[in-house]
Amino acid sequence: MLDIFLTPIRAFRMRYIPLLLIYFSYGSGIAFTAIAVNFWVKDTLDMTASDLAELGIWLTIPWTVKMIFGQMVDSVNIFGSNRKPYVYIGALLITTSSLMMIAVVGDYAIVENFPKKFVYILASVIAVVGFVMQDVVADTMTTEVHNKNQSEEEIHHELATIQVLARLSLGFAIFITGWVGGELADVFHDHREVVFQIALFVPLLSILGVSLVKLNPVAVSPVNKHVLYGGLIFAVFIVLMGYNDVPYSQEIVFVISLSVVLYLLSDLINDLDASTIRHIKMAMIIIFVYRAMPSVGAGLSWWEIDVLGFDESFFAKLSAIGGGIALAGMWFSAKFIIKRDIVEVLIFLTIIGTLLSMPIVAMYYDIHTMLGFDARTVALVDTAMASPFDYIAQVLMLTLVAIYAPEGKKGTWFALMASLMNIALSAGGLFTKYLNQVFVVSREVVTDGVITTAQNYTELGSLLWVVIVIGFVVPIVTIIKYNPNKA
pLDDT range class, residue 137, cuts 50, 70, 90: confident
**pLDDT > 90 fraction of the chain, expressed in percent and rounded:** 30
Stretch among 15-29, 157-171, 399-413 having the lowest mean pLDDT: 399-413
Each residue's pLDDT tens digit, 433-481: 999 999 999 988 877 777 888 899 999 999 999 999 999 999 999 988 8
Query: By percentage, how much of the chain surpasses pLDDT 70?
Result: 79
Regarding whether 73 and 44 lie in a shared domain, the answer is yes
Residues 361 and 224 in one domain: no
338 with 207, same domain: the answer is no
274 and 233 both lie in a single domain: no
Please check whether residues 282 and 226 belong to one and the same domain: no
Tell me, yes or no, whether 240 and 253 share the same domain: no
pLDDT digits (tens, 9 = 90+) for 264-301: 788 777 877 888 788 888 888 888 998 899 999 999 99
pLDDT digits (tens, 9 = 90+) for 343-400: 777 888 888 888 888 999 999 999 989 988 889 888 887 776 666 566 566 666 666 6
State the pLDDT at residue 10: 61
* 455 in the same domain as 387: yes
Please, which pLDDT band fits residue 329 given cuts at 50, 70 and 90?
Answer: low
- Of 43-57, 218-232, 349-363, 415-429, the range with the lowest mean pLDDT is 218-232
Give the H or E element holding residue 381.
Answer: helix 375-403
Q: Which amino acid is at 474?
A: V
Indicate the number of domains in the chain. 2
Cα separation, 211 vs 376, whole angstroms = 44
Angle at 166 between CA 164 and CA 171, to 5 degrees: 95
- Say if residue 236 is in the same domain as residue 356: no
Residues 237 and 259 grouped into a single domain: no
Condensed to tens digits (0 to 9), the pLDDT of residues 44-86 reads: 998 888 899 889 888 888 887 777 787 787 778 888 777 788 8
Q: Would you place residue 129 in the very low, low, confident or very high pLDDT band (cuts 50, 70, 90)?
A: very high
Domain's final residue, options 211, 246, 281: 246
Look at phi and psi of residue 448 and say left if phi exceeds 0, alpha if psi is from -120 to 50, else beta.
Answer: left
Residue predicted with more confidence, 238 or 339: 238
Higher pLDDT, 188 or 209: 188
pLDDT for the residue 409: 60
Domain boundary among 231, 246, 261: 246
- Asked whether residue 7 carries a pLDDT value surpassing 60, the answer given is no
> In this structure, are 169 and 213 located in the same domain?
yes
pLDDT number for residue 154: 61
Q: Using the 8-state DSSP alphabet, how is residue 441 labeled?
A: -
Contact 427, 61 (CB under 8 A): no
Residues 242 and 302 in one domain: no
Determine the average pLDDT of the residues in 321-348.
66
Read off the pLDDT of residues 234-248 as tens digits, 9 standing for 90 and up: 788 887 887 777 888
Comparing CA positions, the residue from 94, 88, 114, 90 lying closest to residue 103 is: 114
42: domain range? 1-246
CATH number for 239? 1.20.1250.20
Check residue 388 and give its pLDDT: 56
Q: Tell me the angle at which helices 49-64 and 249-269 cross, rounded to the nearest 10 degrees.
A: 30
Same domain, 55 and 8: yes
pLDDT at 123 over 90: yes
Model-level pTM?
Answer: 0.80
Q: Give the residue-averaged pLDDT of 101-120.
A: 92
Task: Determine the pLDDT at residue 407.
Answer: 61
Per-residue burial over 114-146, b if 16 or more Cβ lie within 10 Å, else e, is eebbebbbebbbbbbbbbbbbbbbbbbbbeebb
Altogether, the residues listed in the chain come to a count of 487
What's the whole-number average pLDDT of the chain?
Answer: 82
What's the CATH number where 397 sits? 1.20.1250
Is 143 or 64 the better-scoring residue by pLDDT?
64
Pick from 216, 246, 276: which residue ends a domain? 246
Q: Which long-range contacts (CB under 8 A, 24 or more apart) does 302-305 make?
A: 302/42, 302/49, 302/441, 302/443, 302/457, 303/364, 303/441, 303/457, 303/460, 304/379, 305/39, 305/42, 305/443
